[in-house]
Amino acid sequence: MTPVTILGLGPMGRALAGAYVAAGHRTTVWNRTAGKAPEGAVEAVTVAEAAGELTIVSVIDYDAVSAILDAEALKGRTLVNLTADTPRRAREMAAWAADQGIAYLEGAVACPTTGIGTPQGLIFYSGPRELFSRWEAELSVLATPMYLGDDPGRAAAFDVAVLDAFWNALAGVVHAYALGASEGISAAELTPMLRGLGEILPSLIDECGANLESGEHPGTASSIRSARAAISHVIAASETAGLETGALRAARGYADRAVADGRGDEGFSLLTKYVAARGDGNGSAS
């Protein structure tokens, strides 16, 4: 079994280390604060002592990664970075690793800690194909690996795009509970209604994706103009209740620009082209 190293023992790092221990790999770990190693792992005192042929880092952000890595100890070895950050910073880190003689794979964990160590979990990877192939069996211990291409920023790009939808959706949920509460609607009363929305979202996502692929945005079922009116009603009710409306106003702003362009009768998916501050609907912001 290939020895592995995990740098960082927050909740995710501990889950990663635990998966390797459970699979029978000799697992060396390091953390700024000692004493957090899962049972069965070997705790190193320094990063240099911990570094191995396959070293995986999982900390809060790339500033923390840069602060703890020992370039000399990692030279000639493989570093897999499972720390979440931006595509730009992923590419910068890959360039730094290349300059240091470190083989580098970028990764992004696309599941909660409970998914680690199971095939239901998912982790995105990007970087050199041959390097991913070399370590694919070991990386499969953690979760199902999805290789996304040579561009080292691609895993982070997928990650932030998915998280964009997740956090905006969750922010909408808590905003809905607050708006409901302002009108005397209890959380217990509203929960089934919100769950109902969750059940129809998959088909709407499929439709939106298909429209964007085809370049056609039919508004026969629901147009941007009608969506703009609905969003305006939510904004008005929210402001009456003294609630923040920043995200809603941004969404209405996309619709405003589409309507001003004479495209108000098209479908909601078209608004993807208006998300950029100067999106003009002609593909410049797609």
Note whether residue 215 is domain-resident. Answer: yes
Note whether residue 82 is domain-resident. Answer: yes
Mark whether 214 and 88 lie in a shared domain: no
Note whether residue 162 is domain-resident. Answer: no
Last residue of a domain, one of 106, 134, 156: 156
The Cα–Cα gap between 27 and 40 comes to 8
Mark whether 119 and 190 lie in a shared domain: no
The Cα–Cα gap between 58 and 7 comes to 6
The pLDDT, as a whole number, for residue 1 is 87
State the Cα angle at 48 between 46 and 49, rounded to 5°: 65
Last residue of a domain, one of 116, 141, 156: 156
| Helical pair 224-240 and 154-182, crossing angle rounded to 10 deg | 50
The Cα–Cα gap between 123 and 175 comes to 30
Mark whether 123 and 248 lie in a shared domain: no
The pLDDT, as a whole number, for residue 284 is 41
DSSP-assigned states of every residue in 185-228: --HHHHHHHHHHHHHHHHHHHHHHHHHHHHT----SSSBHHHHH
pTM of the complete model? 0.90
Domain extent, residue 34, equals 4-156
The pLDDT, as a whole number, for residue 231 is 97
Mark whether 26 and 117 lie in a shared domain: yes
Note whether residue 252 is domain-resident. Answer: yes
The pLDDT, as a whole number, for residue 286 is 33
Pick from 97, 89, 53: nearest CA to 71:
97
Last residue of a domain, one of 156, 172, 196: 156
Note whether residue 64 is domain-resident. Answer: yes
Note whether residue 169 is domain-resident. Answer: no
Mark whether 150 and 212 lie in a shared domain: no
CATH number at residue 9: 3.40.50.720
The Cα–Cα gap between 202 and 82 comes to 28
Cα separations in angstroms, 212 against 182, 205, 215, 269, 273: 37, 11, 5, 7, 10
Q: Phi, psi (5° rounding) for residue 219?
A: -110, 25
Count of the separate structural domains present in the chain:
2
Mark whether 151 and 69 lie in a shared domain: yes
Mark whether 63 and 105 lie in a shared domain: yes
The Cα–Cα gap between 24 and 16 comes to 13
Mark whether 17 and 152 lie in a shared domain: yes
**Contacts for 116 with CB less than 8 Å, ≥ 6 apart:** 12, 15, 16, 18, 19, 109, 142, 143
The Cα–Cα gap between 153 and 174 comes to 31
Note whether residue 57 is domain-resident. Answer: yes
Mark whether 68 and 27 lie in a shared domain: yes
- Per-10-residue mean pLDDT of the chain, 286 residues long, equals 96 97 98 93 96 97 95 97 96 97 98 97 98 98 98 98 96 98 98 94 95 95 95 98 96 96 96 79 46
The pLDDT, as a whole number, for residue 285 is 37
Cβ contact 135:79 at 8 Å: no
CATH number at residue 236: 1.10.1040.10
Mark whether 144 and 195 lie in a shared domain: no
Other Cβ atoms within 10 Å of 206 Cβ, number: 10
Note whether residue 170 is domain-resident. Answer: no
